[in-house]
Structure 1
Amino acid sequence: MRCTLGVDIGTSSSKGVLVDDDGVIVATVTRAHEVSRPRSGWVEMDARVWWDEFVWITRDLIAAAPDAEIAGVGVSGMGPCILLADEHDEPVRPAILYGVDTRSTAQIARLTAELGTDAITRVGGSTLTSQAGGPKIAWIADEEPEAMARARRLFMPASWLARKLTGAYVLDHQSASQVSPLYDIEGEHWHEPWWAEYAGAIEQPALGWAGDRAGEVTADAASATGLAVGTPVIIGTIDAWTEAVSVGAHEAGDLMLMYGTTMFLVVTGEETLRTPSMWTTAGAFAGTRNLAGGLSTSGALTAWLKDLTGADYPELLEDAEKSGPGARGLLVLPYFAGERTPIQDPDARGVIAGLTLDHTRGDLYRAALEATALGVRHNVETMRAAGADIRRIVAVGGGTQGRLWLQIVSDVTGLVQEVPQTTIGASYGAAFLAATAIAEAGEAPAITSWNPITETIQPDAALRDFHDVLFDRYVRLYEGSKDVVHELAAEQREPAQQREPAEQREPADQRKAAA
């Protein structure tokens, strides 16, 4: 039985699948992990875990399907992440994650001042935000100069796996376009002057497109993983774009809506659209462009409430169903980890408005689901205002398993959502790209055959006016509370001792003696 293998390195877990030539999943493996949050606004990860988990997953999949002949390997990963390594491919520090890591605020301001917003937007497509890779590199140079001095190569999770498997030093165009402002989006190449200025001695990765071949499995990689020497490995890309591929939402006019730890939206077109509120990127494939956005929390918010209440998800969903639209007068801003698009505010924080002693955990959970839906609506309206032609919406990710969440998003946004047969996500898309890469001419599989649409979620037209009012309140609640919230966020960044009232602080020698 011939199969392709797909592995995706996500924020909270790594997932792997074996898929046969007809798109049927033969085996799956998931390994949970945690990111590190050493300080407020910092989110990072030891990149050596990515390879370790790839090895474990691959060996587990081979053991689960010993008759499978693995004919190709697909890789994918969260991003844009910034992993700098030395000349021996040893990481010089933990990888800095995508827009949920907000440490580079000062570098964003400095690069914007030095280069100018117009020039940055003209070259890279987007203004600099916490999602941009360039300011994260600049942060390492400013704050950890010894690490920067040793840095010679730039990786993201997918390209790190490709390097370990094949020895190729390559990055896909889509990922590269998020290392703003170091990539020229119209020229589809690294922007030499700014690379020299901000990336220093780091060697530029060669560029390719998602699904192109990176190389073949080496003897060392085969020994570690159990894969056969010479197995083709593709150039992967960032998980959200691979998820779009997995459900066939990568054609012009398609919007992919990814329900995961965070919520991600990608609309595909042929024109480069520029707006300061969203991210303009190269597409996964040549000739396409994307306008993308993301909420910093979605599944992370519901998981927080699950842990806080001690209830399981079925209980919370049942309670939320009983609560009903509007959560009995609760309104939540889902900015518990800052927010990415469209407000681009790393100092935003979560707000629960309207809370009374009569409210229940079901009301809170319902309001959290509605908050993510309101965030999706905010992004979609911003995309359309920027000129995006959204004709089709496809849902993907773990959150699609719960019908209530899907229905709430459709009701709040007024959007019809298509749900495919398989929503396992990026690992499945990576396996599909691998199958396409190894196919003979004219025999490449079609994702519509692999993964057909099986369900359509229609919005409840009777709730339209209600949700229009709710959305207006959502936007006004942020504007009305952000000054106070920003003050609180500033205090959260201070060391704990500085946050204590002066009269409560003990001299350091007294605390040491007491200890």
Structure 2
Amino acid sequence: MEKIVLGIDVGTTSVNAVLVSSEGRMIDEVSAPHDLLSLRSGWAEENADDWWNNSVTVVSRLGERNPDLFKKISCVGVTGMVPAIVMLDEKGRPIRNTIQQNDARAVDEIREIKEKVDQDELFALTGGYTNQQHVLPRMLWVRRHEPAVFAKMKTVLGSYDYVVYKLTGVRSIEMNWAVESGLFDIRRRVWLTDQMERFDFDPAWFPPANPSGKIVGEVTPDAAKITGLAAGIPVIAGSADHVASTLSAGIIDRGDLLIKFGGAGDILYCTEEIRTSDKLFFDYHIVPDRYLINGCMAASGSLVKWYLGDLLDNYGGEALKQLDEAASKLPPASDGLIILPYFLGEKTPIFDPEARGMMFGLTLSHTRAHIFRACLEAVIYGFRHHIDVIRELGYEPRRIIATNGGSRSRFWCQIAADVLGQEVRAYPSHPGSALGVAYLAGMTVGAFDSWEGIHAFLTEYRTFTPNPDAVKIYEKSYRVYRDLYEQTKQSCRAVA
């Protein structure tokens, strides 16, 4: 008997929802946009109620378009950005805008924590050193700069946890939010309450951390009334968006590697053991007994968008096609032009919020097409840097999968194959993390019987093989790219 599951994805600029059938087909997909707010340089905030209102909108629309199948929904999963911070008062209402995972305001707080906390001990427990993505520095910033607001806080949730709460009334944290918070012991799988108390944080603010597929509640009558869902449908804890994306891309075996061309750039490598690096992040995979070594570049697609939008005054349409064609005819490595993509500072693998973007090697012979191509190459150089770190840990990518916006560009994917020196399989119509969390929900209630079944959704792809001549050229250019940051990082800090 066919079962239907619902997946909701709380993204940076929109909420997406999908209906998925146990027979291996995507039934329908709906999205609704919202805004990323940057009130000051380095700030990144959103309105949590926009996420909920958009979730109501997309779920209701799916119900209107698929009334019969909508009634068959057997489980709901929610995924989203991590670790965004949603602070709630005692009545469960947000007390301020969320502070997003790419927010870079808490520079002083990071320094303070590093002075008070043994970083090697923290790394041994959490798999990471204090960095801008951790929850503690951003919460300390709120306490310091908005004490009246902070005093109202009773609960902390993540993006998808908040939507789960609005659906079920249950305050729950999914385990990968806990992992990326920097306040969680990744081996014992418990909160580091002593770390919280060291900074006068109440451990009661942090709800229980649950595995992704655990059913944490049911759709309440109130949520049912406004979404159209049936009351009583089980809702799982959910998943970090990048982790759900690995499942939906078929990254389920040791050696599988995913590169995600989003606004930021994610790279995830699947292992069978817990392995940490001071240059990368760590997450539990949705798939049992699998783990993910992963990184996140602060700027990827956003770098390209900035160049086309701000520098070229919203270049698009036929003009963009001509620019893309002109760039594709240029030689690999853009005639010596190299861009450092640190236009928002950088997370992994250098963890430097004061790093800055750079165009190196410019001459009067370079054109806008050269700069466009160099932007694309810079993102792939960043991915290559991550793969170098993964190799330093003793791992080798068995296969490379590309998804999200950049995977739709044949030109960009060919650059990826040439810079990485390895075949790249691209899924240009990949449905993303909403499918991943829907499939997880389906596994929880028996709609699917194996993790390998995800491949039924992955039938359309393109394969790109490296050009040996381009590989040699890019190898030389990449070495210059790696040297540039080391030679200029002190100067970057002087102007940050």
- TM superposition score normalised by structure 1: 0.90
Alignment match, 1:113: 115
Deviates more, 1:202-211 or 1:71-80: 202-211
- Give the Å deviation of 1:125: 1.1
Assess if the C-alpha contact under 8 Å between 2:3 and 2:22 holds in 1: yes
Structure 1 distance, partners of 2:451, 2:280, is: 33
- Give the Å deviation of 1:36: 1.0
Q: How does 1:443-462 map to 2 (within 5 A)?
A: 446-452=453-459, 454-462=461-469
Assess if the C-alpha contact under 8 Å between 2:22 and 2:448 holds in 1: no
CA spacing shift, 1:451–1:215, aligned 2, 3 Å:
farther
Assess if the C-alpha contact under 8 Å between 1:322 and 1:362 holds in 2: no
| Amino acid aligned to 1:121 | F
Alignment match, 1:32: 33
Deviates more, 1:305-314 or 1:80-89: 305-314
- Give the Å deviation of 1:118: 1.3
- Give the Å deviation of 1:207: 2.0
Structure 2 distance, partners of 1:316, 1:90, is: 48
3-state SS in 2 of match to 1:404 = helix
Structure 2 distance, partners of 1:155, 1:306, is: 35
| Gap regions ≥5 residues in structure 1 | 490-515
Is the counterpart of residue 14 in structure 1 residue 21 in structure 2? no
Alignment match, 1:263: 265
Q: How does 1:46-445 map to 2 (within 5 A)?
A: 46-69=47-70, 70-98=73-101, 100-180=102-182, 182-198=183-199, 199-200=201-202, 202-308=204-310, 309=312, 310-312=314-316, 313-420=320-427, 422-439=429-446, 442=449
Assess if the C-alpha contact under 8 Å between 2:106 and 2:137 holds in 1: yes
CA spacing shift, 1:443–1:334, aligned 2, 3 Å:
closer
Assess if the C-alpha contact under 8 Å between 1:17 and 1:25 holds in 2: yes
| Amino acid aligned to 2:257 | L
3-state SS in 2 of match to 1:341 = coil
Assess if the C-alpha contact under 8 Å between 1:151 and 1:201 holds in 2: no
| Amino acid aligned to 1:34 | D
Assess if the C-alpha contact under 8 Å between 1:432 and 1:447 holds in 2: yes
| Amino acid aligned to 2:342 | Y
- Give the Å deviation of 1:407: 1.2
Write the deviation string for residues 82-118 of structure 1: whole angstroms up to 9, x where unpaired.
11111111112211111x2111222222222212111
Structure 2 distance, partners of 1:315, 1:225, is: 44
3-state SS in 2 of match to 1:75 = strand
CA spacing shift, 1:162–1:191, aligned 2, 3 Å:
same
| Amino acid aligned to 1:311 | Y
Structure 2 distance, partners of 1:159, 1:59, is: 20
Assess if the C-alpha contact under 8 Å between 2:160 and 2:238 holds in 1: yes
| Amino acid aligned to 1:81 | A
| Amino acid aligned to 1:329 | G
- Give the Å deviation of 1:217: 0.8
- Give the Å deviation of 1:201: 5.8
Deviates more, 1:49-58 or 1:67-76: 67-76
Structure 1 consecutive aligned stretches of length 4 or more whose deviation exceeds 4 Å: 440-445
Structure 1 distance, partners of 2:362, 2:451, is: 55
Assess if the C-alpha contact under 8 Å between 2:3 and 2:21 holds in 1: yes
Write the deviation string for residues 192-226 of structure 1: whole angstroms up to 9, x where unpaired.
21133343264331222112222211111011111
3-state SS in 1 of match to 2:257 = strand
| Amino acid aligned to 2:239 | T
CA spacing shift, 1:311–1:440, aligned 2, 3 Å:
closer
Structure 2 distance, partners of 1:274, 1:73, is: 31
Size of the aligned set, in residue pairs, is 487
CA spacing shift, 1:256–1:439, aligned 2, 3 Å:
same
Assess if the C-alpha contact under 8 Å between 1:320 and 1:366 holds in 2: yes
Assess if the C-alpha contact under 8 Å between 1:273 and 1:388 holds in 2: no
- Give the Å deviation of 1:286: 4.5
| Amino acid aligned to 2:252 | H
| Amino acid aligned to 1:302 | V
| Amino acid aligned to 1:122 | A
Assess if the C-alpha contact under 8 Å between 2:4 and 2:447 holds in 1: no
Structure 1 distance, partners of 2:322, 2:437, is: 34
Deviates more, 1:447-456 or 1:470-479: 447-456
3-state SS in 2 of match to 1:323 = coil
Write the deviation string for residues 53-79 of structure 1: whole angstroms up to 9, x where unpaired.
101111122222233233322211011
| Gap regions ≥5 residues in structure 2 | none
Assess if the C-alpha contact under 8 Å between 1:245 and 1:429 holds in 2: yes
CA spacing shift, 1:233–1:113, aligned 2, 3 Å:
same
Assess if the C-alpha contact under 8 Å between 1:125 and 1:272 holds in 2: no
Assess if the C-alpha contact under 8 Å between 2:261 and 2:301 holds in 1: yes
